[in-house]
Amino acid sequence: MAQQFAAMFSGNLRLEIDSKHQFTMSLMGVPIEGSVKTSGNKVTLDPATIAGLSKAEAQAQQPNSKIETLSGTLSADGKTLTLMGDNPAEGKMIFRRDTRPARKIGPSKVSGELEKSLVGRFAADPKSLDADGSPEQARMLRSLVGSMALVLHPDRTFDLLSFMDIWGTWEAKGDRLYLRPVELMGMSVAEAKAKGTTASPMEATISSGGTVLSIAEGGPGGSELRFKKAKS
CATH number at residue 152: 2.40.128.270
State the Cα angle at 58 between 52 and 64, rounded to 5°.
155
Domain boundary among 67, 96, 125: 96
Q: Is the pTM above the cut of 0.75? A: no
CA distances from 160 to 36, 87, 170, 213 (A): 28, 35, 11, 13
Q: How far is CA 11 from the centre of its chain?
A: 11
Q: Are residues 119 and 170 in the same domain?
A: yes
Burial string for 213-228 (b: 16+ CB within 10 Å, else e) reads: bbbeebbeeebebbbb
Share of the chain above pLDDT 70, in %: 80
**Among the residues of the chain, which ranges form H helices?**
55-61, 112-118, 135-146, 189-194
Mean pLDDT of 85-112: 85
In a domain, 14, yes or no: yes
Tell me: do 137 and 223 sit in the same domain: yes
Q: Does residue 57 register a pLDDT over 90?
A: no
In a domain, 212, yes or no: yes
Residue 101 lies in a domain: no
- pLDDT score, position 10: 40
**Does pLDDT of 114 surpass 80?**
yes
Residue 107 included in any domain: no
165 and 211 inside one domain: yes
pLDDT at 81: 94
Whether 105 is covered by a domain: the verdict is no
- CATH number, domain containing residue 21: 2.40.128
- Are residues 126 and 209 both part of a single domain? yes
Q: Mark which of 66, 96, 126 sits at the end of a domain.
A: 96
Say if residue 121's pLDDT is above 90.
yes
Q: Are residues 90 and 190 in the same domain?
A: no
Task: Choose one of 96, 124, 151: the last residue of a domain.
Answer: 96
Kindly state whether residues 65 and 133 are assigned to the same domain.
no
pLDDT single digits (tens) 203-222: 999 999 999 999 886 555 56
Residues 90 and 148 in one domain: no
Give mean pLDDT, residues 4-26. Answer: 68
The answer to whether residue 104 sits within a structural domain is: no
Supply the range of the domain harboring residue 25: 2-96
pLDDT score, position 80: 93
In-domain check, residue 106: no
pLDDT at 161: 83
* Domain count for the chain: 2
Question: Which pLDDT score, from 0 to 100, does residue 40 have?
Answer: 94
